[in-house]
A and B are shown apart, each in its own frame.
Chain A
Amino acid sequence: MDIDVYTVALQIINTLILFLILRFLLFKPVTEFLNKRQTTIKNAMDKAERDLVEAAQIKADYELKLQEARVEARGIIDTATKQGQKRQDEIVHEARSDALRIRERAAADVETQKDQALAYLRDHVAEMAVSAAGIIIDQQLDNESHKHLVDRFVERMGGSDEK
Protein backbone atom coordinates (compact mmCIF):
# COMPACT_ATOMS: atom_id res chain seq x y z
CA MET A 1 0.00 0.00 0.00
CA ASP A 2 1.14 3.51 -0.75
CA ILE A 3 0.27 6.74 0.94
CA ASP A 4 -1.28 8.69 -1.87
CA VAL A 5 -1.86 12.39 -1.23
CA TYR A 6 -4.60 12.51 -3.86
CA THR A 7 -6.56 9.71 -2.28
CA VAL A 8 -6.15 11.20 1.21
CA ALA A 9 -7.39 14.55 -0.10
CA LEU A 10 -10.28 12.90 -1.96
CA GLN A 11 -11.30 10.94 1.11
CA ILE A 12 -11.23 14.10 3.26
CA ILE A 13 -13.36 15.90 0.66
CA ASN A 14 -15.72 12.90 0.44
CA THR A 15 -16.14 12.82 4.21
CA LEU A 16 -16.76 16.57 4.36
CA ILE A 17 -19.35 16.34 1.58
CA LEU A 18 -21.04 13.41 3.32
CA PHE A 19 -20.99 15.35 6.60
CA LEU A 20 -22.60 18.43 5.01
CA ILE A 21 -25.23 16.38 3.19
CA LEU A 22 -26.10 14.29 6.26
CA ARG A 23 -26.28 17.37 8.44
CA PHE A 24 -28.59 19.04 5.97
CA LEU A 25 -30.64 15.94 5.15
CA LEU A 26 -30.72 13.97 8.39
CA PHE A 27 -29.31 15.47 11.56
CA LYS A 28 -30.56 19.05 11.40
CA PRO A 29 -34.17 18.37 10.36
CA VAL A 30 -34.63 15.35 12.62
CA THR A 31 -33.07 17.08 15.63
CA GLU A 32 -35.18 20.18 15.02
CA PHE A 33 -38.24 18.00 14.56
CA LEU A 34 -37.53 16.11 17.77
CA ASN A 35 -36.90 19.33 19.69
CA LYS A 36 -40.08 20.83 18.34
CA ARG A 37 -42.05 17.76 19.32
CA GLN A 38 -40.41 17.76 22.73
CA THR A 39 -41.39 21.39 23.18
CA THR A 40 -44.91 20.67 21.99
CA ILE A 41 -45.30 17.74 24.38
CA LYS A 42 -43.74 19.69 27.24
CA ASN A 43 -46.08 22.61 26.59
CA ALA A 44 -49.07 20.30 26.40
CA MET A 45 -48.09 18.60 29.64
CA ASP A 46 -47.43 21.92 31.38
CA LYS A 47 -50.78 23.18 30.19
CA ALA A 48 -52.50 20.01 31.35
CA GLU A 49 -50.88 20.36 34.74
CA ARG A 50 -51.88 24.00 35.00
CA ASP A 51 -55.41 23.14 33.92
CA LEU A 52 -55.54 20.39 36.50
CA VAL A 53 -54.49 22.75 39.27
CA GLU A 54 -56.97 25.32 38.03
CA ALA A 55 -59.72 22.73 37.86
CA ALA A 56 -58.99 21.62 41.42
CA GLN A 57 -59.12 25.26 42.51
CA ILE A 58 -62.43 25.78 40.73
CA LYS A 59 -63.80 22.58 42.20
CA ALA A 60 -62.79 23.66 45.69
CA ASP A 61 -64.41 27.05 45.07
CA TYR A 62 -67.61 25.44 43.88
CA GLU A 63 -67.68 23.05 46.78
CA LEU A 64 -67.29 25.97 49.17
CA LYS A 65 -70.05 27.84 47.37
CA LEU A 66 -72.26 24.77 47.41
CA GLN A 67 -71.65 24.37 51.13
CA GLU A 68 -72.55 28.01 51.67
CA ALA A 69 -75.63 27.64 49.52
CA ARG A 70 -76.67 24.57 51.49
CA VAL A 71 -76.32 26.41 54.78
CA GLU A 72 -78.20 29.35 53.38
CA ALA A 73 -80.96 27.11 52.03
CA ARG A 74 -81.28 25.42 55.40
CA GLY A 75 -81.53 28.83 57.04
CA ILE A 76 -84.20 29.93 54.62
CA ILE A 77 -86.17 26.74 55.11
CA ASP A 78 -85.87 27.05 58.88
CA THR A 79 -87.02 30.64 58.82
CA ALA A 80 -89.89 29.81 56.48
CA THR A 81 -90.91 26.85 58.64
CA LYS A 82 -90.84 29.01 61.74
CA GLN A 83 -92.82 31.72 60.06
CA GLY A 84 -95.29 29.18 58.73
CA GLN A 85 -95.64 27.65 62.16
CA LYS A 86 -96.20 31.08 63.67
CA ARG A 87 -98.71 32.00 61.02
CA GLN A 88 -100.49 28.68 61.51
CA ASP A 89 -100.69 29.29 65.22
CA GLU A 90 -102.00 32.77 64.61
CA ILE A 91 -104.61 31.55 62.18
CA VAL A 92 -105.76 28.79 64.50
CA HIS A 93 -105.86 31.19 67.41
CA GLU A 94 -107.78 33.77 65.40
CA ALA A 95 -110.17 31.13 64.15
CA ARG A 96 -110.76 29.92 67.63
CA SER A 97 -111.43 33.35 69.01
CA ASP A 98 -113.66 34.15 66.02
CA ALA A 99 -115.62 30.97 66.56
CA LEU A 100 -115.97 31.77 70.21
CA ARG A 101 -117.13 35.30 69.48
CA ILE A 102 -119.63 34.09 66.88
CA ARG A 103 -120.98 31.51 69.25
CA GLU A 104 -121.30 34.08 72.03
CA ARG A 105 -123.07 36.47 69.72
CA ALA A 106 -125.34 33.74 68.52
CA ALA A 107 -126.15 32.84 72.10
CA ALA A 108 -126.78 36.48 72.92
CA ASP A 109 -129.02 36.76 69.82
CA VAL A 110 -130.98 33.76 70.85
CA GLU A 111 -131.42 35.24 74.32
CA THR A 112 -132.53 38.57 72.91
CA GLN A 113 -134.97 36.92 70.53
CA LYS A 114 -136.36 34.83 73.32
CA ASP A 115 -136.77 37.91 75.47
CA GLN A 116 -138.40 39.76 72.63
CA ALA A 117 -140.73 36.86 71.94
CA LEU A 118 -141.66 36.65 75.60
CA ALA A 119 -142.24 40.36 75.78
CA TYR A 120 -144.35 40.15 72.67
CA LEU A 121 -146.33 37.30 74.07
CA ARG A 122 -146.82 39.08 77.34
CA ASP A 123 -147.96 42.17 75.46
CA HIS A 124 -150.44 40.18 73.44
CA VAL A 125 -151.74 37.78 76.08
CA ALA A 126 -154.06 40.45 77.49
CA GLU A 127 -155.23 41.43 74.08
CA MET A 128 -155.90 37.84 73.18
CA ALA A 129 -157.59 37.34 76.45
CA VAL A 130 -159.82 40.33 75.85
CA SER A 131 -160.70 39.19 72.34
CA ALA A 132 -161.27 35.69 73.56
CA ALA A 133 -163.41 37.05 76.33
CA GLY A 134 -165.37 39.07 73.82
CA ILE A 135 -166.03 35.98 71.77
CA ILE A 136 -167.09 34.06 74.84
CA ILE A 137 -169.25 36.88 76.01
CA ASP A 138 -170.94 36.93 72.61
CA GLN A 139 -171.91 33.31 73.12
CA GLN A 140 -173.61 34.33 76.44
CA LEU A 141 -172.04 31.77 78.60
CA ASP A 142 -172.78 31.40 82.21
CA ASN A 143 -170.35 32.61 84.78
CA GLU A 144 -169.04 29.30 85.66
CA SER A 145 -168.17 28.11 82.19
CA HIS A 146 -166.85 31.56 81.53
CA LYS A 147 -164.41 31.35 84.31
CA HIS A 148 -163.53 27.87 83.42
CA LEU A 149 -162.69 28.85 79.89
CA VAL A 150 -160.57 31.78 80.93
CA ASP A 151 -158.70 29.67 83.42
CA ARG A 152 -158.00 27.04 80.90
CA PHE A 153 -156.87 29.55 78.37
CA VAL A 154 -154.55 31.27 80.78
CA GLU A 155 -153.26 27.97 81.95
CA ARG A 156 -152.52 26.86 78.43
CA MET A 157 -150.81 30.13 77.64
CA GLY A 158 -148.75 29.87 80.73
CA GLY A 159 -147.91 26.26 79.94
CA SER A 160 -146.64 27.19 76.53
CA ASP A 161 -144.86 30.11 78.09
CA GLU A 162 -142.98 27.81 80.44
CA LYS A 163 -141.70 25.69 77.60
Chain B
Amino acid sequence: MEKALAGPSVVFEIFGIPITETVVSTWIIMAVIILGAFILTRRFEKLPRGVQNVAEALVEGINDFTAQTMGEKNRWFAPYAGTLLIFIFLANISGLFALWPPTADANTTIGLALMTFVLILYSNIRYKGLLGYLKGLFLEPIPIVFAPINIIGELATPVSLAFRLYGNILAGVVIMGLIYSAVPVLIPVPLHFYFDLFAGILQSFIFTMLTMVFVSMAMETD
Protein backbone atom coordinates (compact mmCIF):
# COMPACT_ATOMS: atom_id res chain seq x y z
CA MET B 1 0.00 0.00 0.00
CA GLU B 2 2.87 2.33 0.75
CA LYS B 3 4.13 1.34 -2.65
CA ALA B 4 0.90 2.38 -4.32
CA LEU B 5 0.93 5.73 -2.62
CA ALA B 6 4.65 6.32 -3.21
CA GLY B 7 4.20 5.68 -6.93
CA PRO B 8 6.57 3.93 -9.29
CA SER B 9 10.20 3.93 -8.36
CA VAL B 10 13.06 4.69 -10.70
CA VAL B 11 14.61 1.42 -11.83
CA PHE B 12 17.67 2.79 -13.63
CA GLU B 13 18.84 5.74 -15.68
CA ILE B 14 19.96 6.01 -19.29
CA PHE B 15 21.89 9.20 -20.17
CA GLY B 16 20.41 10.84 -17.11
CA ILE B 17 16.86 9.93 -18.14
CA PRO B 18 15.19 8.13 -15.25
CA ILE B 19 13.51 4.89 -16.31
CA THR B 20 10.69 4.25 -13.86
CA GLU B 21 8.77 1.06 -13.15
CA THR B 22 6.01 2.49 -15.33
CA VAL B 23 8.26 2.51 -18.37
CA VAL B 24 9.61 -0.97 -17.64
CA SER B 25 6.06 -2.32 -17.28
CA THR B 26 5.13 -0.59 -20.53
CA TRP B 27 8.02 -2.26 -22.30
CA ILE B 28 7.03 -5.66 -20.96
CA ILE B 29 3.41 -5.09 -22.03
CA MET B 30 4.57 -3.87 -25.44
CA ALA B 31 6.71 -6.97 -25.84
CA VAL B 32 3.73 -9.19 -24.94
CA ILE B 33 1.45 -7.35 -27.37
CA ILE B 34 3.98 -7.48 -30.21
CA LEU B 35 4.69 -11.15 -29.57
CA GLY B 36 0.93 -11.82 -29.47
CA ALA B 37 0.38 -9.94 -32.71
CA PHE B 38 3.24 -11.86 -34.28
CA ILE B 39 1.84 -15.24 -33.18
CA LEU B 40 -1.70 -14.30 -34.21
CA THR B 41 -0.73 -13.28 -37.74
CA ARG B 42 2.01 -15.83 -38.35
CA ARG B 43 0.30 -18.16 -40.78
CA PHE B 44 -2.64 -16.63 -42.57
CA GLU B 45 -4.62 -18.95 -44.77
CA LYS B 46 -7.66 -18.54 -46.93
CA LEU B 47 -9.69 -20.73 -44.61
CA PRO B 48 -9.27 -19.35 -41.07
CA ARG B 49 -8.01 -21.86 -38.54
CA GLY B 50 -7.09 -21.64 -34.87
CA VAL B 51 -5.55 -18.33 -33.78
CA GLN B 52 -6.30 -16.76 -37.14
CA ASN B 53 -9.94 -16.58 -36.05
CA VAL B 54 -8.89 -14.63 -32.96
CA ALA B 55 -6.85 -12.17 -35.02
CA GLU B 56 -9.68 -11.73 -37.51
CA ALA B 57 -12.31 -11.25 -34.81
CA LEU B 58 -10.09 -8.77 -32.95
CA VAL B 59 -9.21 -6.64 -35.96
CA GLU B 60 -12.67 -6.78 -37.45
CA GLY B 61 -14.21 -5.97 -34.06
CA ILE B 62 -11.99 -2.91 -33.66
CA ASN B 63 -12.60 -1.84 -37.28
CA ASP B 64 -16.36 -2.11 -36.85
CA PHE B 65 -16.24 -0.42 -33.43
CA THR B 66 -14.36 2.50 -34.99
CA ALA B 67 -16.74 2.67 -37.94
CA GLN B 68 -19.73 2.68 -35.59
CA THR B 69 -18.32 5.40 -33.37
CA MET B 70 -16.66 7.64 -35.97
CA GLY B 71 -18.53 6.79 -39.15
CA GLU B 72 -17.65 4.53 -42.05
CA LYS B 73 -15.30 7.07 -43.63
CA ASN B 74 -13.03 7.09 -40.57
CA ARG B 75 -12.11 3.41 -40.60
CA TRP B 76 -8.50 4.50 -41.05
CA PHE B 77 -8.53 5.52 -37.36
CA ALA B 78 -9.03 1.89 -36.30
CA PRO B 79 -5.32 0.99 -35.91
CA TYR B 80 -4.75 3.83 -33.43
CA ALA B 81 -7.99 3.13 -31.58
CA GLY B 82 -7.08 -0.56 -31.48
CA THR B 83 -3.61 0.19 -30.17
CA LEU B 84 -5.10 2.36 -27.42
CA LEU B 85 -7.69 -0.27 -26.53
CA ILE B 86 -5.26 -3.18 -26.38
CA PHE B 87 -2.48 -1.27 -24.64
CA ILE B 88 -4.68 0.44 -22.03
CA PHE B 89 -6.56 -2.80 -21.35
CA LEU B 90 -3.39 -4.81 -20.78
CA ALA B 91 -1.85 -1.94 -18.80
CA ASN B 92 -4.93 -1.80 -16.58
CA ILE B 93 -4.93 -5.53 -15.81
CA SER B 94 -1.14 -5.84 -15.60
CA GLY B 95 -1.49 -5.53 -11.80
CA LEU B 96 -2.83 -9.10 -11.91
CA PHE B 97 0.56 -10.22 -13.25
CA ALA B 98 2.50 -8.50 -10.47
CA LEU B 99 3.48 -5.58 -12.68
CA TRP B 100 3.13 -1.92 -11.80
CA PRO B 101 0.19 -0.85 -14.00
CA PRO B 102 1.50 1.91 -16.29
CA THR B 103 -1.94 3.51 -16.30
CA ALA B 104 -1.75 3.92 -12.52
CA ASP B 105 0.93 6.51 -13.26
CA ALA B 106 -0.33 9.95 -14.32
CA ASN B 107 2.68 10.31 -16.61
CA THR B 108 1.35 7.54 -18.85
CA THR B 109 -2.23 8.79 -18.92
CA ILE B 110 -1.08 12.38 -19.49
CA GLY B 111 1.02 11.15 -22.39
CA LEU B 112 -1.94 9.30 -23.89
CA ALA B 113 -4.28 12.24 -23.29
CA LEU B 114 -1.78 14.62 -24.90
CA MET B 115 -1.75 12.41 -28.01
CA THR B 116 -5.54 12.55 -28.12
CA PHE B 117 -5.38 16.32 -27.63
CA VAL B 118 -2.95 16.65 -30.54
CA LEU B 119 -5.28 14.52 -32.70
CA ILE B 120 -8.23 16.75 -31.74
CA LEU B 121 -6.26 19.92 -32.54
CA TYR B 122 -5.05 18.45 -35.82
CA SER B 123 -8.57 17.41 -36.84
CA ASN B 124 -9.98 20.82 -35.91
CA ILE B 125 -7.37 22.69 -37.92
CA ARG B 126 -7.51 20.27 -40.83
CA TYR B 127 -11.30 20.33 -41.22
CA LYS B 128 -12.16 23.84 -40.00
CA GLY B 129 -8.94 25.61 -40.87
CA LEU B 130 -6.80 27.41 -38.30
CA LEU B 131 -8.88 30.58 -38.57
CA GLY B 132 -12.14 28.68 -38.43
CA TYR B 133 -10.98 26.86 -35.32
CA LEU B 134 -9.81 30.06 -33.60
CA LYS B 135 -13.03 31.80 -34.61
CA GLY B 136 -15.03 28.98 -33.03
CA LEU B 137 -12.88 29.26 -29.92
CA PHE B 138 -12.93 33.04 -29.45
CA LEU B 139 -16.02 34.39 -31.21
CA GLU B 140 -18.75 31.84 -30.55
CA PRO B 141 -21.42 31.88 -29.34
CA ILE B 142 -20.73 35.46 -28.10
CA PRO B 143 -17.42 37.11 -29.11
CA ILE B 144 -14.69 37.29 -26.42
CA VAL B 145 -17.08 36.70 -23.51
CA PHE B 146 -17.14 32.96 -23.99
CA ALA B 147 -13.50 32.66 -25.03
CA PRO B 148 -12.16 31.69 -21.57
CA ILE B 149 -14.89 29.09 -21.15
CA ASN B 150 -14.23 27.67 -24.62
CA ILE B 151 -10.49 27.46 -23.95
CA ILE B 152 -11.03 25.82 -20.57
CA GLY B 153 -13.47 23.41 -22.19
CA GLU B 154 -10.90 22.55 -24.85
CA LEU B 155 -8.18 21.93 -22.25
CA ALA B 156 -10.54 20.06 -19.95
CA THR B 157 -10.82 17.29 -22.51
CA PRO B 158 -7.26 15.93 -22.19
CA VAL B 159 -7.13 16.67 -18.47
CA SER B 160 -10.33 14.74 -17.76
CA LEU B 161 -9.19 11.91 -20.05
CA ALA B 162 -5.85 11.63 -18.29
CA PHE B 163 -7.13 11.84 -14.74
CA ARG B 164 -10.18 9.66 -15.24
CA LEU B 165 -8.02 6.74 -16.32
CA TYR B 166 -5.24 7.46 -13.85
CA GLY B 167 -7.63 7.96 -10.93
CA ASN B 168 -9.62 4.81 -11.59
CA ILE B 169 -6.62 2.54 -11.95
CA LEU B 170 -4.60 4.05 -9.11
CA ALA B 171 -7.67 3.85 -6.88
CA GLY B 172 -7.95 0.15 -7.76
CA VAL B 173 -4.29 -0.41 -6.88
CA VAL B 174 -4.63 1.51 -3.59
CA ILE B 175 -7.83 -0.26 -2.57
CA MET B 176 -6.38 -3.66 -3.43
CA GLY B 177 -3.29 -2.72 -1.39
CA LEU B 178 -5.50 -1.81 1.57
CA ILE B 179 -7.44 -5.04 1.31
CA TYR B 180 -4.26 -7.11 1.05
CA SER B 181 -2.90 -5.47 4.17
CA ALA B 182 -6.18 -6.19 6.00
CA VAL B 183 -7.18 -9.68 4.71
CA PRO B 184 -4.46 -11.24 2.63
CA VAL B 185 -6.36 -14.45 1.68
CA LEU B 186 -9.56 -15.30 -0.24
CA ILE B 187 -11.29 -11.92 0.05
CA PRO B 188 -9.00 -10.19 -2.50
CA VAL B 189 -9.76 -12.79 -5.19
CA PRO B 190 -13.28 -11.69 -6.23
CA LEU B 191 -12.27 -8.05 -5.75
CA HIS B 192 -9.54 -8.46 -8.34
CA PHE B 193 -12.29 -9.23 -10.84
CA TYR B 194 -13.91 -5.91 -10.11
CA PHE B 195 -10.97 -3.56 -9.59
CA ASP B 196 -8.63 -5.02 -12.15
CA LEU B 197 -10.66 -6.87 -14.78
CA PHE B 198 -13.96 -4.98 -14.83
CA ALA B 199 -12.60 -1.50 -14.19
CA GLY B 200 -9.72 -2.27 -16.52
CA ILE B 201 -11.95 -3.25 -19.42
CA LEU B 202 -14.35 -0.39 -18.74
CA GLN B 203 -11.68 2.30 -18.47
CA SER B 204 -9.85 1.14 -21.59
CA PHE B 205 -13.13 1.27 -23.50
CA ILE B 206 -14.00 4.69 -22.10
CA PHE B 207 -10.63 6.19 -22.99
CA THR B 208 -10.68 4.78 -26.51
CA MET B 209 -14.31 5.63 -27.11
CA LEU B 210 -13.90 9.24 -25.88
CA THR B 211 -10.79 9.71 -28.01
CA MET B 212 -12.74 8.55 -31.06
CA VAL B 213 -15.75 10.72 -30.20
CA PHE B 214 -13.67 13.85 -29.60
CA VAL B 215 -11.62 13.36 -32.76
CA SER B 216 -14.66 12.74 -34.95
CA MET B 217 -16.42 15.73 -33.34
CA ALA B 218 -13.43 17.86 -34.23
CA MET B 219 -13.73 16.62 -37.82
CA GLU B 220 -17.30 17.79 -38.13
CA THR B 221 -17.60 21.01 -40.07
CA ASP B 222 -20.75 22.80 -39.04
> What is the interface of chain A, defined by CB distance below 8 A to chain B?
1-4, 6-12, 14-19, 21-23, 25-31, 33-34, 37
Contact B30 A18 (CB under 8 A): yes
With A6-B18, A11-B102, A14-B30 already in contact, the answer to whether A23 and B107 are too (CB < 8 A) is no
Number of A-B contacts (CB under 8 A): 109
Q: Which residues of A contact B82 (CB under 8 A)?
A: 22, 26-27
Complex Cα spacing A11 to B78, Å: 20
Task: Give CA–CA (A22, B107) in the complex, Å.
Answer: 22
Nearest B residue (CB) for A16: B115
Q: A8-B110, A19-B80 given as contacts; is B37 within 8 A of A25 (CB)?
A: yes
Question: Of A1, A16, A21, A34, which is in contact with the most chain B CB atoms at under 10 Å from its CB?
Answer: A1
User: Contacts A26-B40, A27-B79, A29-B41: A8 and B114 contacting too (C-beta < 8 A)?
Assistant: yes
Known A-B contacts A22-B79, A22-B86, A30-B56; A7 and B20 likewise in contact (beta carbons under 8 Å): yes
Residue B177 lies at the interface, judged by CB distance under 8 Å to chain A:
no
Contact of A30 with B110 in the complex, beta carbons under 8 Å? no
A15-B56 in contact given A7-B22, A10-B23, A29-B41 (Cβ < 8 Å) = no
> Which 6 residue pairs are nearest across A and B when measured between Cβ atoms?
A11-B111, A7-B107, A27-B79, A1-B7, A30-B59, A23-B79
Closest partner residue, chain B, to A13 (CB atom): B111
B146 at the interface (CB under 8 A from A): no
Kindly state the separation between the CA atoms of A11 and B115 in the bound complex, as whole angstroms: 10
Identify the closest chain B residue to A37 (Cβ): B46
Instruction: Say yes or no: B55 contacts A19, CB within 8 Å.
Output: no
Knowing that A3-B107, A7-B111 touch, tell me 20 more A-B residue pairs with CB under 8 angstroms: A1-B106, A3-B110, A4-B20, A4-B107, A7-B23, A8-B114, A10-B19, A10-B26, A11-B112, A12-B114, A14-B26, A14-B27, A15-B84, A18-B33, A19-B80, A25-B34, A27-B62, A27-B78, A30-B41, A30-B44
Known: A11-B23, A19-B79. A25 touches B38 (CB 8 A): yes
Q: A22-B33, A26-B37, A37-B46 are in contact. Are A15 and B111 (CB under 8 A)?
A: yes
Tell me the chain B residues, 79-108 only, with Cβ under 8 Å from chain A.
79-80, 82-84, 86-87, 102, 105-108
